[in-house]
Amino acid sequence: MKIGVDAHTIEKEEKLGAGGNYLGALLKQWSKLDPAKYRFILYFKERIPQDDFLNSPVFEKKIAVNLFKIKSLALFYNLSLPLLAKKDEVDVLFLPYYMRPFFCWTPTITAIHDISYEAHPEWVHWKYGLPQRLLSRLAAQTSRFLITCSQFSKQEIIEYYKVPAERVKMIYLGASHDFTNHRDEVKISEIKKKYGLSDKYFFYNGSMFSRRHILESLQAFELLLKDYPDYQFLVSGRDLTFPAQNIDNFIKKINKNFPNAIKRVRYIDYEDLCLAYQGAELFIWLSEYEGFGLPVLEAMSCGTPVLTINKTSLAEVTGGSAFYVDNPNDFREIRNMMARAITQKDLRKNIIENALEQAKKFSWEKCAEETLKVIVGD
């Protein structure tokens, strides 16, 4: 079977959010398939990455250059990609990033991880939200199947897009085996030194959206520092808050009063990520709307307790094995839960142990197998 794949989300070393991490993990698993049975044509926008798993004989890689040779995601998605898929006569086109091209002559399977832009348009700038809403609705109306990553997101898609339940396939994501609780204290110390961390720190990793309450988390941490001045907060990711909250300016303000309390980086090298989770006293992920919450599962797999919200998909992922905040807008409540997470040792130990068991329920092997079944129609 010949399967086309929109692969533009894995072009950059810093994968494009959930879509890039998701597709990269699936392709690693599919690279082990029999090339006599499956053939994947991977379509890239500008460059082909050098990941070893892409050298598998099951993959053919192409750059879909548009006729005008303009570096445009819109032209790639709505012109180059569907034209090349038609030319290559693929049996189905797998679209892992929410949207379907306006014009596509090939049957499609589309992954929609969440519809926050639909449920809460106030969180997204119109220039991003408008194409997502238009092309996700088109995907919902015309794709053979939709794939989503939690029961929460499945119900949201059914409700907003009026899609029959049988056309929406729920398949949980997984955490890579790279994320483990087997610790190497020497390497953890090296990571702390690399990122300018003295000893005890909290950790946030991921794109910063307003719904993830980064600003409130920082306000809570600033309040916590008055009683626990030996802690730091490692914050990694792009500031995509809307309306803009100027997270970096707020971090500078905190660091004036508490020098080096916040360590801000744009990107944690992937090979450092497990160690960064392991070294953290607490992983912060106060998202009030999430399709899955992959960083939460990664932290749990590394034996790091998580502070989050027991709603949406995060209730499914954590399964009660986390510290929870009821009101993420209340930075005083967040501060109190931060303090509880670092002082109540027995509770902390119990949460870590339960989270490690909960994390075992999710795997990329299972995700890739079930996703392939949907794509090929088994």
What's the mean pLDDT in 254-277? 95
Q: What is the pLDDT of residues 180-218, one digit of tens each?
A: 999 999 999 999 999 999 899 999 999 999 999 999 999
| pLDDT, tens only, 318-370 | 999 999 999 999 999 999 999 999 999 999 999 999 999 999 999 999 999 99
**At 317, is the pLDDT very low, low, confident or very high (cuts 50, 70, 90)?**
very high
% of the chain surpassing 90 pLDDT: 86
Kindly list the structural domains of the chain, giving each domain's residue range(s) and its CATH number in brackets, ordered by start: 2-174+364-376 (3.40.50.2000), 185-359 (3.40.50.2000)
What token pair was written down for 54? Answer: 């892409």
Q: What is the pLDDT of residues 55-104, one digit of tens each?
A: 999 999 999 877 677 778 888 989 999 999 999 999 999 999 999 999 99
- pLDDT for 355 equals 98
Separation between Cα atoms, residue 298 and residue 197, nearest integer Å? 21
What pLDDT is recorded for position 74?
A: 86
The per-residue pLDDT for 198 is 87
Q: Is the pLDDT score of 378 beyond 80?
A: no
> Could you read off the pLDDT of 158-177 as tens digits, one per residue?
999 999 999 999 999 999 99
For the chain, the average pLDDT equals 94
Asked if pLDDT for residue 15 goes beyond 90, the answer is no
pLDDT digits 0-9 by tens, 18-32: 668 899 999 999 999
